[in-house]
Amino acid sequence: VVIGVGRGDACLAQLGLAPAPLGPFDRFLDHLAKYLTGVSVPLGELAADGYRPVSDMGVAEVPEGSTLQRLDDSVPVVPVDVAATGPKVIGIGARRSRHVSFTVGADEERIRKAIETARAARETAGLNPDELSFGAYVNVVCHDDIEVARRVAASGVSIFSRFSAMYGKAQAGVGAAAAASLEKLSAAYDVRHHGELDAGHNGAVDLDFMNRFAIVGSPGYCAERLARLEKLGLDRVVVMSGLDDGSAETARQVRECREALDNGVLPLPARHEVAR
């Protein structure tokens, strides 16, 4: 069991909210780690983000802190895996957890830089960077017909690449061509059609960017790209294998892509995970 935590994107957008601010997100991860390990969280910290303190209720006494009691200390603490894209969230994740999974696609240089950023942040905080475990969320769609693979991959690539231009401006270090593609996608993104294969904003992602950010192609090509990612120091890859829009034709294409993934790619080390 792993608890995955991110700042929120589409889920909060459906509630009319932007992703969680960095300060509250940092404190949330700190409090979550304390709860999971049985450490008391001071009540004053819980009221730091605008909530009224319990003392305002007019009660006689209140506890000094809030604690989650562990029923069996022999059971390992559930790890928290922080999903992160930019350097600030990567740094927060590396300080607050031992597990960080990057949402920077399959771009080897960006993954390498993300690992360096995480290790540096943890070391600066006086913690051991060798304790960190790294993962990556990667769009992987396999099909011998490249046009089918690209269509099935399009919505997932839009979802995950947009994290790199969340507020309309591409993050530093992605390169000029990628930045232009990301900013075009951000400007065109229609949350009402989030995750849909034929959403208009999917067309904002050009083929050069898709080829770099995602792994799309024949099973042999996909297996080779994944093997290269493993050599960077990743402990796990969460594979996003394409979405279905409900039509019979798309269902057939998605099924073929997943069968190609299962049969031609996933005889990889068992620690690689597939999310569907």
CATH number at residue 145: 3.20.20.30
Q: Record the tokens describing residue 8, joined without a space.
A: 């929120």
**Which residue bears the tokens 């957890």?**
97
Q: Which domain holds residue 227?
A: 132-275
Cα distances (Å, whole numbers) of residue 97 to 81, 84, 94, 118? 7, 12, 6, 11
Residue 271 or 151, more confident: 151
- The residue type of 233 is G
User: Is 140 part of any domain?
Assistant: yes
Contact 209, 177 (CB under 8 A): yes
What pTM, to 2 d.p., does this model score?
0.87
pLDDT, position 125: 97
User: Is 171 part of any domain?
Assistant: yes
Model confidence over 162-173: pLDDT tens digits? 888 888 888 888
Among 52-66, 81-95, 114-128, the range scoring the smallest mean pLDDT is: 52-66
DSSP 79-119: PEEEEE-SHHHHHHHHHH-SEEEE-STT-HHHHHHHHHHHH
Q: Report how far residue 194's alpha carbon sits from residue 14's, in angstroms, rounded to the nearest whole number.
A: 10
User: Is 174 part of any domain?
Assistant: yes
User: Is 149 part of any domain?
Assistant: yes
User: Is 264 part of any domain?
Assistant: yes
How many domains in the chain? 1
User: Is 68 part of any domain?
Assistant: no
User: Is 95 part of any domain?
Assistant: no
User: Is 155 part of any domain?
Assistant: yes
